[in-house]
Structure 1
């Protein structure tokens, strides 16, 4: 079998390059301070192993993928993961930068305090790959407590209070939670794509919007955002949000299971604003007024954004790639040695 070593070498190259490529696809990971402008929350605060945990997060780059880890990838809970590198769930970030979703915790997750880490990355300048990438990270208000199966999970867990408008305990966005091999997953029967069109503003000004029906929409201020509560029948639907006085678009997002959408307000001036929600057809659902408070970025905020050269590999990926090349070079060389010469070597060294 003259070419067997050569085939083995080629297979090794392809496999290990795939491993390195997978490592490259993952954004920079924590633990590190939350990226300014991001936030996150989970619900319920107390949950048993194998039960659903829902989450909401915002301030992440639209169109990218958010990667979610348990306990910052601690080896105590990272024996198996669904997507590699201790990532238990991934989800595409819609145009609003706000994500609502759910996952099912592993059946063997130890009791006690846990949290989620949300990670993503985006190009500094998509037109200039050499400019590098920005890393986004948030832990936010994602702490929760795992209790023994059968224990009461209705009481609030000690620690951080639940954020206003935290996602409900049901699977968010119509997700059907399942478990495969003890790995947290969340399966949507029929994923609905984000609408491609940006709807027209429902009014030309805040004063004009005030003349429209409120439609049962209410607004609750939260840290760095306003939480809009919509009628219950809009759960899992796509909505588009505008802020007024001057129409300011905030993109599409799916309504959480508890009927809420989260509107980031860091770029809005302090004061009272009106927020309008439109359905997937561009029709006005309703509007509500909410107050935006000044929320200055913390000192040293620039250090929370990680920059890496475009196309660079993590150290682990470089190590794997280097070992791959050395191994494959040796195997290829051995595969190219004529059979007669290898036979002569065997005869000289019985």
Structure 2
């Protein structure tokens, strides 16, 4: 029986070690619902209501026409309702631009949805052009825009005078750390939110397995000592 327990524990430990490398692979899919090979970024990661959000898009078929939505909003008949921007992918499959967020977008976490609305299929692609889609990293709509660790307001009307920066504390659930441009910050935040719980679970499982293994070894050692004492006692008799 002890040997069977030891074999079982060895199998559990080996399985946990095999699963560990797969944790890092989840970092590329933390946004989910994106066509394989596509990618996007948004900046800044925290933006004021009605502000202008910069973005990049890559991995799409060249010449494809793409609609930009907020939070997977239904584009509706004709592709107009819910669309905050449109673009045509360049020859290298990339695009960089910006969209102005509607004033009615609620404060909190949001994302951009890029979907192809028109374009010819590429013979070398296994995915139809109209099936291409990408979900951007999350960004936060708050009272102020956070750029490089500083907060600046977005005035409702242009003004030639300098606007003083108000000391307003953002109420959004996530604020970019000092020096983060938003692109890398959002990606690292998303990666951590997915991978850290998995790593913690695997480490706790390994700790539990090692604890059980230690207890079993201690029990077996005591049994061996007792058996040796019995042999010694029998030899004396």
TM range (shorter): 0.3 to 0.5
> Over alpha carbons, which structure has the higher Rg?
2
Q: Which has the higher strand share?
A: 1
**Which TM-score applies when normalising by structure 2?**
0.44
**Which TM-score applies when normalising by structure 1?**
0.31
Q: Which has the higher helix share?
A: 2
